[in-house]
Structure 1
Amino acid sequence: MIEAMGLEKRYGDKVAVHDLTFTARPGVVTGFLGPNGAGKSTTMRMILGLDRPSRGEVRVNGRRYRDAVAPMHEVGVMLEARAVHTGRTAAKHLLALAQTHGISRRRVNEVIEMVGLADVARKRAGGFSLGMGQRLGIASALLGDPATLILDEPVNGLDPEGIRWIRSLLRDLAAEGRTVFLSSHLMSEMALTATHLVIVGRGRLIAETTVAEVIASASPAAVHVRTPQSAALRDVLVGAGVTVTATAADTLEVTGRTSAQIGEAARTAGLALHELTPKQVSLEDAFMDLTRGAVEYATEAPHSPHPGTDAEKTLALAGATRSEIPT
Structure 2
Amino acid sequence: MIEIRELTKRFGDKTAVDRITATVRPGVVTGFLGPNGAGKSTTMRAIVGLDRPTSGSVTVNGKRYADHAAPLREVGALLDAKAIHTGRTAYNHLLAMAATHGIGKSRVHEVIAMTGLESVAKKRVGGFSLGMGQRLGIAAALLGDPQTLILDEPVNGLDPEGVMWVRQLTRHLASQGRTVFLSSHLMSEMAQTADHLVVLGRGRIIADAPVSEVLALATGSAVRVRTPLAADLAPRLTAEGGSVTASPAEPDLLSVAGLPPARIGELAMHAGIVLHELTPVSASLEDAYLELTQDAVEYHSEVSR
**TM-score normalised by L of structure 2:** 0.89
Give the one of 242, 252, 255 matched to 1:253.
Answer: 255
* Deviation by residue 1:243-276 (Cα, 9 ceiling, x = unmatched): 5565454333334432344456767988654322
* Deviation by residue 1:24-52 (Cα, 9 ceiling, x = unmatched): 11111111111111111111111111221
1:24 has 2:31 as partner: no
The residue correspondences of 1:25-64 to structure 2 (distance < 5 A) are: 25-64=25-64
Equivalent position of 1:118 in the other structure? 118
Following TM superposition, by how much is the alpha carbon of 1:214 offset from its aligned partner in structure 2, in angstroms? 2.4
Equivalent position of 2:282 in the other structure? 280
Q: Which amino acid aligns with 2:185?
A: H
Pair 256,88 (structure 1): closer, same or farther in 2 beyond 3 Å:
closer
Pair 230,145 (structure 1): closer, same or farther in 2 beyond 3 Å:
same
**TM-score normalised by L of structure 1:** 0.84
CA contact (8 A) 2:220 2:287 kept: no
- Quote the Cα distance in structure 2 between the aligned partners of 1:32 and 1:259: 34
Report which stretch shifted further, 142-151 or 77-86: 77-86
Equivalent position of 1:87 in the other structure? 87
Q: Which amino acid aligns with 1:299?
A: S
Pair 239,66 (structure 1): closer, same or farther in 2 beyond 3 Å:
same
Equivalent position of 2:208 in the other structure? 208
CA contact (8 A) 1:216 1:280 kept: no
Following TM superposition, by how much is the alpha carbon of 1:5 offset from its aligned partner in structure 2, in angstroms? 0.8
- Any idea what SS the aligned residue of 1:225 has? strand
- Any idea what SS the aligned residue of 2:217 has? helix
Report which stretch shifted further, 178-187 or 286-295: 286-295
- Quote the Cα distance in structure 1 between the aligned partners of 2:2 and 2:296: 24
Pair 295,256 (structure 1): closer, same or farther in 2 beyond 3 Å:
closer
Give the unaligned 5+ runs of structure 2.
Answer: none
- Quote the Cα distance in structure 2 between the aligned partners of 1:36 and 1:112: 32
- Quote the Cα distance in structure 1 between the aligned partners of 2:188 and 2:165: 15
Q: Percent identity?
A: 65
Equivalent position of 1:322 in the other structure? none
- Quote the Cα distance in structure 1 between the aligned partners of 2:246 and 2:121: 59
Pair 33,243 (structure 1): closer, same or farther in 2 beyond 3 Å:
closer
Report which stretch shifted further, 212-221 or 100-109: 212-221
Equivalenced residues, count: 303
Following TM superposition, by how much is the alpha carbon of 1:210 offset from its aligned partner in structure 2, in angstroms? 2.6
- Quote the Cα distance in structure 2 between the aligned partners of 1:186 and 1:177: 25
Pair 249,210 (structure 1): closer, same or farther in 2 beyond 3 Å:
same
Q: CA RMSD in A?
A: 2.4
* Deviation by residue 1:211-270 (Cα, 9 ceiling, x = unmatched): 332233214343111134557766986765445565454333334432344456767988
Give the unaligned 5+ runs of structure 1.
Answer: 302-314, 317-327
Equivalent position of 1:305 in the other structure? none
Equivalent position of 1:226 in the other structure? 226
Equivalent position of 2:128 in the other structure? 128
Equivalent position of 1:323 in the other structure? none
Q: Which amino acid aligns with 1:33?
A: L
Report which stretch shifted further, 264-273 or 147-156: 264-273
CA contact (8 A) 2:226 2:253 kept: yes
Equivalent position of 2:296 in the other structure? 294
Pair 268,70 (structure 1): closer, same or farther in 2 beyond 3 Å:
farther
Following TM superposition, by how much is the alpha carbon of 1:286 offset from its aligned partner in structure 2, in angstroms? 2.5
Q: Which amino acid aligns with 1:251?
A: L
